[in-house]
Copies of this chain bind each other. A is one copy, B any other.
């Protein structure tokens, strides 16, 4: 199946089991830190996976032993934050315009994980700072290895996190005071604390265990009706941002088409006959 996908420059894309894609940031010698070209490629990959009928769930992790990602590459940050410099000094309003466009595009790249129609499970390990949090909260589920060191690092470099952490993290965990504390102090926290507040759903011994567990979980989701799974992701994300009234109404409209899938009868029949259902591609 992999043959239908191009190969990518900064990411490994593999297919560990049927309908499951595994995306791996591949810059381990630089602690998987990111610069602009990387997040543009990340968006391309997730847009492709989102539409591919051969993919039903996605695992995301980082290559190497040391880091999921250490966040922004320092040089990239310097350039990215301040935009291309052309020698002439611009006034603060014009710099702001460039910065806003830059942040918008950066946000849009990371949001491609959330927009991806298939569930995305992040398997984290080692250093997971700054952008690591932005990426992980755009995903659906977070697992991590025991050795993971997390930090909403941005205040330590003089800025408020702007690629999604401050917007999505409080909607991911239920403990708002904790979110404020870690975001306002940039302190490092570990796997157990992450588990306790609900930031991650499971902690595993090693990176390998974590990735294996993520693939297993993705495989389980991939074995279900893709109509049901993708509808569930969409409706949960929609409901997060709307009132209960609006959520129910959107759900009714969505399912008025979705329950016409053959998957319902396929699933029910398989259940009665105690066999594993197969579902058409979506």
A99 and B255 in contact, given A119-B184, A166-B232, A232-B166 (Cβ under 8 angstroms): yes
How many angstroms from the CA of A236 to the CA of B169 in the assembled complex? 9
Say yes or no: A183 contacts B91, CB within 8 Å: no
Residues 226-279 of A at the B interface (beta carbon under 8 Å): 227-236, 239-268, 271, 277, 279
How many angstroms from the CA of A162 to the CA of B231 in the assembled complex? 10
Range of interface residues on A (Cβ < 8 Å): 35 or more
Encode A90-120 as 1/0 by CB contact (under 8 A) with B: 1111111101110110010001001000010
Is A155 part of the contact surface with B, judged by Cβ < 8 Å? yes
Is A44 part of the contact surface with B, judged by Cβ < 8 Å? no
A229 and B271 in contact, given A90-B280, A166-B239 (Cβ under 8 angstroms): no
- Identical chains bound together, number: 6
Residues of B within 8 A of A245 (CB): 241, 245
How many angstroms from the CA of A210 to the CA of B174 in the assembled complex? 23
Residues 130-181 of A at the B interface (beta carbon under 8 Å): 140-142, 154-162, 164, 166-168, 170-181
How many angstroms from the CA of A224 to the CA of B159 in the assembled complex? 10
Residues of B within 8 A of A96 (CB): 92, 256-258, 260
A164 and B248 in contact, given A255-B103, A258-B93, A260-B99 (Cβ under 8 angstroms): yes
Say yes or no: A168 contacts B255, CB within 8 Å: no
Encode A212-231 as 1/0 by CB contact (under 8 A) with B: 00000100110011011111
Q: Which 8 A-B pairs have the closest CB atoms?
A: A174-B174, A175-B198, A93-B261, A160-B231, A167-B247, A158-B263, A92-B92, A158-B267
* 6 cross-chain CB contacts under 8 A: A119-B184, A159-B264, A160-B235, A166-B236, A175-B201, A177-B201
8 more A-B residue pairs beyond the given contacts A159-B227, A160-B227, A180-B236, with a C-beta to C-beta distance below 8 A: A92-B96, A93-B260, A97-B227, A141-B180, A159-B261, A161-B232, A172-B177, A185-B217
